Structure 1
């Protein structure tokens, strides 16, 4: 069973789709729903060590892993393993979402379920099936 949701920042959590007037990117709402259903959440970004998530997302993620802070970067297997470890989960218990296929393949190589984000609708549909909670 999948108990962890790991998402990339740029291109995934910054994707507003066609609704640029929305108060927050739609996948942020998915993270909120996942947390309400007991899913552990992580943000995994290849940003430098000076970057941090927006303040309004405080408490949204159980774990934030930033490449510049840990000295690892996607698609290196070690960064996915570190993220799962920090979540307290096995890689096979996690689904990873990224807009770059190479990064999704890296996560899949360590046993995570990978979702290649190409649109909000397709990502939400896949996550609804994979995580198995109602009404994402």
Structure 2
């Protein structure tokens, strides 16, 4: 996998999110040359500038539905974010807390991860990106009890 695409609300921020854990995965991916993006159904406009500003320091690109005129689960938006990362959809892992969006990403050719629990999502992402970030020496995701 050469790309990591994440939803914002529910994955990187908000209830059910572990911002620090997910930020570690994003930082590790970027260090290893994996292209990263946020794909959000945010309506855009002036109020979304803080999200747009994450492009560069945090991820390689930010795609907001309100800015591009389409929204998840429209298959075209997954193709768009992959193209903006200069990747084929099949080279991307997509992470979202809504199963309908994960299924649509898979239908568009991406590998989908349904984010229900941050430590489990990180474990799945780590495997898909062939990374050891987020795992302890026993291979268990950090923060996940035995």
TM-score (norm 2): 0.82
Q: 1:129 to 1:98 in 2, by over 3 A?
A: same
- The residue that corresponds to 1:135 in the other structure is 133
CA RMSD of aligned residues (A): 2.0
The question of whether the paired residues in 1 share the 8 Å contact of 2:11 and 2:17 is answered with: no
Q: 1:57 to 1:85 in 2, by over 3 A?
A: closer
Deviations 1:61-108 (A, max 9, x none): 111100000000000000000000000000000000000000000100
- The residue that corresponds to 2:95 in the other structure is 97
- The residue that corresponds to 1:43 in the other structure is 38
The question of whether the paired residues in 2 share the 8 Å contact of 1:4 and 1:40 is answered with: yes
Equivalent-residue separation in structure 1 for 2:55 and 2:83 (angstroms):
22
The question of whether the paired residues in 2 share the 8 Å contact of 1:14 and 1:25 is answered with: no
Q: Name which of 22, 27, 30 aligns with 2:22.
A: 27
Q: 1:87 to 1:128 in 2, by over 3 A?
A: same
Secondary structure of 1:11's aligned partner: coil
The question of whether the paired residues in 1 share the 8 Å contact of 2:82 and 2:88 is answered with: yes
> Which runs of structure 2 are paired with 1:1-136 in the superposition (5 Å)?
2-15=1-14, 24-50=19-45, 51-52=48-49, 53=51, 55=53, 58-136=56-134
Equivalent-residue separation in structure 2 for 1:74 and 1:121 (angstroms):
24
Deviation at 1:18, TM superposition (A): 8.7
Bigger CA drift: 126-135 or 82-91?
A: 126-135
Secondary structure of 1:14's aligned partner: coil
Q: For the pair shown, which has the larger CA radius of gyration, 1 or 2? A: 2
Equivalent-residue separation in structure 2 for 1:16 and 1:103 (angstroms):
18
Equivalent-residue separation in structure 2 for 1:18 and 1:47 (angstroms):
17
Structure 1 unmatched runs, 5+: none
Deviating above 6 A after TM superposition, structure 1's stretches of 4 or more consecutive aligned residues are none
Bigger CA drift: 39-48 or 25-34?
A: 25-34
